[in-house]
Chains A and B, each alone.
Chain A
Amino acid sequence: MKYRITHRTAYRYSEPASLSQNELFMLPRQTATQRVEESRLTISPEPQYLRRRTDYFGNIVQVFMVQQPHTELSVTAESRVETSPSEHPPLSATPAWEEAARRLRSHALPAELEATQFVFASPMIRLSAATRDYAAASFPAGMPILAGAVDLLRRIHTDFAYDTAATTIDTPVEQVMASRRGVCQDFAHLAISCLRGVGLAARYVSGYLKTLPPPDVPALVGADASHAWVSLFVPEIGWVDLDPTNNLLPSETHITLAWGRDYGDVTPAKGVVMGGGVHTLAVAVEVAESQD
Chain B
Amino acid sequence: MADMFPSGPPDSAATRTPSTALFDGAPCPPETFCEAFDASGKPRPHWEPLIAAFDARGVAGLTRSQERVRRMRHEDGATYNLFDDATGRGVPWALDMIPLPLTAAEWAGVEAGLTQRAFLLDRLLTDVYGPQQLLKEGVIPPEIVFANPRFLPPCHGIKPAGGRFLAFYAADLIRGPDGRFRVLRDYAATPAGIGYALENRIVISRVFSELYHRTQIRRLAPFFHAFHDSLVQRAFRRRVEPGIVMLSPGPECRIYFEHALLSRYLGYPLVEGQDLTVRNGKVLLKKLAGLEPVEVILRLLDDDLSDPLVLRLKTESGVAGLIQAAREQQVDLVNPIGSGFVDTPVLPVFLPELCRRLLKADLLLESHPAWWGGSAEGRAHLLNHAEELSIAPALDDAALPVDPAHLPAAIASAPHGFMARAPLHPAVVPAWDSAGVRPRFSLLRLFACATDQGYAVMPGGLAVTAPDAATLAGGVPEQQMSKDIWVLSDRPVDPFSLMAGLRSSAELSRGNDLPSRVADHLLWLGRYLERAESLVRLLRSVLRRLSGEARPGDIPELSYLLNLLRAEGILPAAPEAGSDIPRFQELSAQLNTALYRQERPESVAAVLKQVQEAARKVRDRLSLDSWRVINRLSGLADTPAADPLEYLNETLFTLSAFSGLAMESMTRGLGWRFMDMGRRLERAINHARLIRIGLSRICDESGGALEALLEVADSIMTYRARYRTAFQLAPALDLLLVDESNPKSLAFQCSQIAAHVEHLPRLSNRRFAEPEERKALEMLTAVRLLDPAAMSRAEAGPPHAALEAFLESMEANLKDFARQISAHYLSRVPATPHFSGMPVDRRP
Contacts and interface: CB of A to CB of B under 8 A. Distances in A.
A227 interface: yes
Contacts of A120: 143, 146-147
A113 B136 contact: yes
A141 interface: no
What are the 5 A-B residue pairs with the smallest beta carbon separation, nearest first?
A: A269-B836, A120-B147, A272-B320, A226-B839, A117-B146
Interface stretch (B152-160, B229-237, B593-601): B152-160
B340 interface: no
A162 B279 contact: no
Interface residues of A, number: 64
Interface in A267-284: 267-276, 279, 281, 283
Interface stretch (B119-127, B604-612, B827-835): B827-835
B460 to A, nearest CB: 39
Given A162-B843, A270-B313, A283 B836 contact: yes
B839 A225 contact: yes
Contacts of A123: 149
28 contacts: A9-B836, A49-B281, A51-B281, A65-B321, A113-B136, A116-B142, A117-B142, A119-B146, A120-B143, A120-B146, A120-B147, A129-B413, A132-B413, A169-B838, A184-B840, A225-B839, A225-B840, A225-B841, A226-B841, A245-B841, A267-B836, A268-B839, A270-B834, A272-B321, A272-B834, A273-B831, A273-B832, A273-B834
A242 to B, nearest CB: 15
Interface string A241-285: 000011000000000000011010101111111111001010100
A185 B839 contact: yes
A18 B414 CA distance: 47
A148 to B, nearest CB: 19
Nearest to A227: B841
B320 A21 contact: yes
B146 A228 contact: no
Interface in B808-844: 829-844
A206 B836 CA distance: 13
Nearest to B277: A19
B135 interface: yes
Contact of A276 (B310, B832, B838): B832
A228 B279 contact: no
A265 B725 CA distance: 80
B841 A184 contact: yes
Nearest to A214: B844
B142 A279 contact: no
Interface string B270-283: 00000001111100
The B interface, classified by DSSP as helix, strand, loop or mixed, is loop
A11 B834 CA distance: 9
B834 A281 contact: yes
Interface stretch (A31-39, A55-63, A90-98): A55-63
Interface of A: 9, 11, 18-19, 21-23, 48-49, 51, 53, 55-57, 63, 65, 67, 107, 110, 113, 116-117, 119-121, 123, 127, 129, 132, 162, 164, 167-169, 183-185, 206, 209, 211-212, 225-228, 245-246, 260-261, 263, 265, 267-276, 279, 281, 283
A164 B842 CA distance: 10
A21 B321 contact: yes
A267 B154 CA distance: 13
Q: Is the interface of A mostly helix, strand, loop or mixed?
A: mixed
B88 to A, nearest CB: 36
Nearest to A118: B146
B153 A56 contact: yes
Interface string B249-282: 0000000000000000000000000000111110
B278 A65 contact: yes
A23 B836 contact: no
Contact of A67 (B280, B831, B838): B280
Given A267-B835, A279-B832, 14 more contacts: A18-B829, A21-B320, A65-B280, A113-B135, A116-B142, A117-B142, A164-B840, A184-B841, A226-B839, A245-B841, A246-B843, A270-B309, A274-B831, A279-B834
A206 B146 contact: no
Contacts of A162: 843
A270 B280 contact: no
A198 to B, nearest CB: 11
A245 B838 CA distance: 14
B321 A168 contact: no
A113 B142 contact: yes
A126 B835 CA distance: 22
Interface string B306-323: 001110010000001100
Nearest to A209: B841
Given A19-B279, A21-B320, A56-B156, A245 B833 contact: no
A215 B146 CA distance: 47
Contact of A56 (B157, B831, B834): B157
